[in-house]
A and B are shown apart, each in its own frame.
Chain A
Amino acid sequence: EAAVTQSPRNKVTVTGGNVTLSCRQTNSHNYMYWYRQDTGHGLRLIHYSYGAGNLQIGDVPDGYKATRTTQEDFFLLLELASPSQTSLYFCASSDRGRDEQYFGPGTRLTVL
């Protein structure tokens, strides 16, 4: 029933490792977003997308790539993970023309 799902829910990797975080939404929304949440910094936008094949840069994009393969699926890629990317990552979606965002359950990533 959950409209925004994320996988994995927890991930541990080592410095320099490759990580892919997945997000799927069944809201039929056009917009999808990736955020990270850190103590002292709050929620910050990494990348977002208007639709399949589209990618927009957010406020903290360095070290991250993203790809929107379908309307439903949005991926966040960390190709050379660093300890500074240890964080709680959230995916969200929103409808075109409306701004109410719906969040997934989050992925806790630890980079050792």
Chain B
Amino acid sequence: GQQVQQSPTSLVLQEGENAELQCNFSTSLNSMQWFYQRPGGSLISVFYNPSGTKQSGRLTSTTVIKERRSSLHISSSQITDSGTYLCAMRGSALGRLHFGAGTQLIVIP
């Protein structure tokens, strides 16, 4: 069954608005990673965040292991933030990531 659920599926923002992306896991969570991808492009690691909160510039990731969820907050969105954000979780098997379907973010002027 589906192990990783991402929401929303897509999101349209006006430049300057904030975004909250969610990831929920159906099995026990040991670590998770957020990626950014442009259409047809490679996956760029945004956060490796096994637990707690991490911040990098306008991006903040919070992972709550016990609740099997993680979020990615984008503040003051910019047009260049447009793309797909993927979360991936690792369960009990070392190294094996399970990916969500992604959130497509579109930021308009």
Which residues of A come within 8 Å of B, CB atoms? Answer: 31, 33, 42-45, 48, 50, 58, 88, 90, 92, 94, 99-106, 108
Contact = CB atoms under 8 A, between A and B. Distances in A.
Contacts of A99: 30-31, 33, 48, 50, 90, 94-95, 97
A108 B40 contact: yes
Interface string B78-109: 00000000101010001111011110000000
Interface residues of B, number: 23
Interface string B27-51: 0001101010000111111001010
13 contacts: A33-B95, A42-B101, A43-B88, A43-B99, A45-B97, A48-B96, A90-B43, A92-B43, A94-B95, A100-B45, A102-B45, A105-B41, A106-B42
Interface of B: 30-31, 33, 35, 40-45, 48, 50, 86, 88, 90, 94-97, 99-102
Contacts of A43: 43, 86, 88, 99
Interface centre among A42, A99, A100, by most B CB within 10 Å? A99
A50 B40 CA distance: 28
B97 A42 contact: no
Nearest to B94: A99
